Amino acid sequence: MSKGLIVQKFGGSSVANVERIQNVAKRVASYKKNGYDVVVVVSALGDTTDELIELASQINTDPAKREMDMLLSTGEQISVALLAMAIHKLGLEAISFTGAQVGIITDTSHTRARIIKVNADKIREELRKGKIVIVAGFQGVTLSQDITTLGRGGSDLTAVALAKELLARECEIYTDVDGIYTTDPRIEPKAKKIPAITYDEMLEMASLGAQVMQARSIEVAKKFNVPIHVRSSFSNNSGTMIIKEVKRMEDVVVTGITINKNEAKITICNVPDRPGVAAKIFKELSENGVNVDMIVQNVSHTRSTDISFTVSKSDVHKTLKITKQVAKNIQSGEVLADEDIARVSVVGVGMKSHPGVAAKMFEVLAKNKINIEMISTSDISISCIIKKKFAETAVKSLHGKFGLGK
């Protein structure tokens, strides 16, 4: 009698070489031997995907997305075959499948396809035979049999979708860190691993710079209430559970502090203060694929105001080009870009019921003589844009003041 089904996802760094593949095989085998049914989702080996992208770019700087998917999907196909061989070597039965073979049906948006449905009959059939089933992450197939890929973090999405479809008791996400920390341990050595975190908190953490899991997979897990366990493929320690509700021993207000140095601040000076102007700017950016994050517009004292917003550093060039054009059309003033910034955020569902978190945050920053350039808040997070050079100090002080190192 099976103890139930576990879906395990191993990222590229977990299968970067032969030895690591063998380690993954051992871990998977230990679960099977302990009485679990196991479905394994694997990413491409190490840097394979980046290498294939580089190879494509040498041939065509603007490759057709359908062909990119054809190319990139080979990475995971290699991984699943090798992992099956490694598990066989340990004397267990295992079978590998591509996304297409197990019926991960997607729409036709190549390179960032969305899963429409998962037809997991083939997986169920092989599980019934007692086999470990290995599925290529990151990929699917359209109804007309074209291979698609799911975009960044796609293997996590494959794992979560399979866990949902197969009613798995848990979806384990193996990575090169051993869980979610109260903040980046490279900045604050006192950072602690968080044993359990809610989907909502994790979503804030993810979108605010914690690189462990993409927001997309967490959203799907939240929607279908799939319990996720983020843990290290290099140790047996338990990691962080991502679940619906966390019953914490004591009243935790702030769960974590995140830091993001990958954004730039754009400011349009002297924007005429009349309806529709902001819409014009952000519509233009959105249509050009620029993802705008924080937006701040102050009350105007004269008949014009300044609008500031943040974008990913990689979009600065494009953003400036578009924004300068729009600024000219709407007769605004100068457009400035500042890449020398960092975003520091405090996150926690506890702050819903605890006022004063923002005040405390501002106070900590003020005490450290750190000027706040922009502020943005959500239900469960408060973010401040500050000068980059103060980022580490800010994180450490906030981490201490909110009692996260205890």
Residue in 58, 236, 298, 302 binding a copy of itself, rule: CB under 8 A: 58
Residue in 1, 91, 128, 145 binding a copy of itself, rule: CB under 8 A: 145
What does the angle CA 256 – CA 261 – CA 264 come to, to the nearest 5 degrees? 130
Q: x/- binding map, residues 146-185, to a copy of itself, per CB under 8 A?
A: xx--------------------------------------
Considering the rule CB under 8 A, would residue 374 count as an interface residue with a copy of itself?
Answer: no
Considering the rule CB under 8 A, would residue 143 count as an interface residue with a copy of itself?
Answer: no
Q: Which is nearer to a copy of itself, 81 or 215 (CB)?
A: 81
Smallest gap from Cβ 43 to a copy of itself, in A, equals: 14
Q: Which is nearer to a copy of itself, 120 or 380 (CB)?
A: 120
Considering the rule CB under 8 A, would residue 28 count as an interface residue with a copy of itself?
Answer: no
Considering the rule CB under 8 A, would residue 372 count as an interface residue with a copy of itself?
Answer: no
Piece in contact with a copy of itself (CB under 8 A), picked from 93-101, 228-236, 362-370, 384-392: 93-101
Q: Residue 6's closest CA among 33, 41, 39?
A: 39
Considering the rule CB under 8 A, would residue 60 count as an interface residue with a copy of itself?
Answer: yes
Residue in 80, 123, 132, 160 binding a copy of itself, rule: CB under 8 A: 80
Q: Which is nearer to a copy of itself, 87 or 257 (CB)?
A: 87
For the CA atoms of the chain, what is the radius of gyration? 23
Considering the rule CB under 8 A, would residue 39 count as an interface residue with a copy of itself?
Answer: no
Q: Which is nearer to a copy of itself, 12 or 239 (CB)?
A: 12
Considering the rule CB under 8 A, would residue 21 count as an interface residue with a copy of itself?
Answer: yes
Tokens of 95: 């079978």
Q: Please, are residues 218 and 242 in contact by the beta-carbon 8 Å criterion?
A: yes
Residue in 56, 187, 253, 320 binding a copy of itself, rule: CB under 8 A: 56
Interface with a copy of itself in residues 316-345 (CB under 8 A): none
Q: How many residues lie near a copy of itself (CB under 8 A)?
A: 36
Residue in 39, 42, 82, 398 binding a copy of itself, rule: CB under 8 A: 82
Residue in 55, 116, 359, 366 binding a copy of itself, rule: CB under 8 A: 55
Smallest gap from Cβ 213 to a copy of itself, in A, equals: 27
Smallest gap from Cβ 122 to a copy of itself, in A, equals: 8
d(CA 354, CA 375): 19
Considering the rule CB under 8 A, would residue 118 count as an interface residue with a copy of itself?
Answer: no
Considering the rule CB under 8 A, would residue 41 count as an interface residue with a copy of itself?
Answer: no
Q: Which residues bind a copy of itself (CB under 8 A)?
A: 18, 21-22, 52, 55-56, 58-60, 63-64, 66-68, 70-71, 73-74, 77-78, 80-82, 84-86, 88-89, 95-96, 98, 100-101, 145-147
